[in-house]
Amino acid sequence: MSWLAGKRLLVTGGAGFLGHFVVQRLEALGCRDIFTPRSAQYDLTRMDHVVRLFQDARPQVVIHLAARVGGIGFNRDKPAELFYDNIMMGVQSMEQARLHGVEKFTAVITVCAYPKYTPVPFREDDLWNGYPEETNAPYGLAKKMLIVQAQAYRQQYGFNAIALLPANLYGPGDNFDPQRSHVIPALIKKCVDAVEDGRNEVPVWGTGAASREFFYVEDAAEAIVLATERYNKSEPVNIGASQETTIKELAEVIARLSGFKGKLAWDPSQPDGQPKRYLDTTRAYREFGFRARMSLEEGLRKTIEWYRANRSLAAAR
């Protein structure tokens, strides 16, 4: 029985894409007192709402997943909103956790926090060796400040806060909105829709040369819960799948799995984003025994199947 099972838990963003799987994982451990706030009732950018949330939830453990996120285009169009919303949600949530005597605070950051030209694989010690890629720097830096806050609070207050850096997430239930989705759901939607509409060309942003590490959402949920159970140190920890894939390779696999046999029309006038992203996950395995299990191809197949079976739900989200 996990020590988490008897605790009151607050999972911000618990009703979202990643949060849904984190809550499932916690329930599988025997956790029954899990508070998952909705943004309609609790706006985490407002301190009065955050105070009310902690008064209502009375948590002993907090897993902070809430974030405002999007793909390259959304980051390019909304940099100020992404910076403000994400920094306010994180800073205020951790401060109220401290004031309310929370025992453990798990902050989930982002791979976008890394410098643009970080050597691959990205190691946690490289986090401060440069500025993030410009298109997502405001978002990445806002989330990165949670690492600073966690370390400062541990030093001054003895507050047990940890920080995790996940690779690019994907999986069933992802955001397929063309204006806000990341690369995998965007490509899945384009390819599946093209097959059904009989179109023989799919537009794809960039050159395809950039590389990414894609992390299946159920693996990510397992890593977050394991770290919450077992990790209690100040150093941030990468969590990922330990597999690097170019966007060109990714697009070709998605086209094949979705049955699209037409042309992938690359548009080099659109940005590639960060040149490379691939995480060294040695620390995660050493500190709390996490190793990803889902292969990229199998994860993509499951995600495509989910999208085909849940088109109306995906559109509503």
Please write the tens of the pLDDT for every residue from 256-274. Answer: 999 999 999 999 999 888 8
Strand partners, 164: 108, 237
Give the Cα separation of 94 and 149 in Å (integer).
8
Cα–Cα nearest to 131, from 145, 113, 119: 113
19: Cβ–Cβ under 8 A, 6 or more apart, which residues?
Answer: 11, 12, 13, 36, 65
CA neighbours within 13 Å on the CB side: how many for 212?
A: 23
Q: Is residue 301 part of a domain?
A: no
Q: Is residue 304 part of a domain?
A: no
Q: Could you tell me if 64 and 13 are in contact, meaning their C-beta atoms sit under 8 angstroms apart? A: yes
| pLDDT score at 218 | 98
Give the Cα separation of 79 and 137 in Å (integer).
8
Buried/exposed code over 79-110 (b: 16+ C-beta within 10 A; e: otherwise): beebbebbbbbbbbbbbbbbebebebbbbbbb
151: Cβ–Cβ under 8 A, 6 or more apart, which residues?
Answer: 234
Model confidence over 77-135: pLDDT tens digits? 999 999 999 999 999 999 999 999 999 999 999 999 999 999 999 999 999 999 999 98
| pLDDT score at 317 | 61
Cα–Cα nearest to 64, from 124, 17, 109: 109
Catalytic residue at 139?
yes
Query: Angle between the 217-230 and 17-28 helix axes, to the nearest 10 degrees?
Result: 50
Amino acid at 109: I
Buried/exposed code over 249-285 (b: 16+ C-beta within 10 A; e: otherwise): ebbebbbebbebeeebebeeeebbbbebbbbbbebbe
* pTM of structure: 0.94
| CATH number of the domain within which 112 lies | 3.40.50.720
Q: Give how many domains the chain has, as a whole number.
A: 1
Q: Is residue 113 part of a domain?
A: yes
Strand partners, 205: 267
Q: Is residue 282 part of a domain?
A: yes
Amino acid at 13: G
| pLDDT score at 316 | 60
Q: Is residue 305 part of a domain?
A: no
Q: Is residue 21 part of a domain?
A: yes
Task: Sheet containing 237-239: give its strands across.
Answer: 34-35, 9-12, 61-64, 104-108, 161-166, 237-239
| pLDDT score at 7 | 98
Q: Could you tell me if 112 and 132 are in contact, meaning their C-beta atoms sit under 8 angstroms apart? A: yes
- Radius of gyration of the chain measured on its C-alpha atoms: 19
Q: Is residue 45 part of a domain?
A: yes
Q: Is residue 316 part of a domain?
A: no
Which residue out of 42, 114, 139, 307 is catalytically annotated? 139
Parent domain of 8: 3-173+213-243+276-293
| pLDDT score at 315 | 66
pLDDT tens by residue, the chain, 317 residues: 799 999 999 999 999 999 999 999 999 999 999 999 999 999 999 999 999 999 999 999 999 999 998 877 888 899 999 999 999 999 999 999 999 999 999 999 999 999 999 999 999 999 999 999 998 999 999 999 999 999 999 999 999 999 999 999 999 999 998 877 889 999 999 999 999 999 999 999 999 999 999 999 999 999 999 999 999 999 999 999 999 999 999 999 999 999 999 999 999 999 888 888 899 999 999 999 999 999 999 999 999 999 999 987 776 66
Range list of H helices, the chain: 17-28, 47-57, 72-77, 79-99, 137-157, 183-197, 217-230, 247-258, 282-288, 296-309, 311-316
- Encoding tokens for residue 300? 């993509």
| pLDDT score at 182 | 85
Give the Cα separation of 66 and 50 in Å (integer).
12
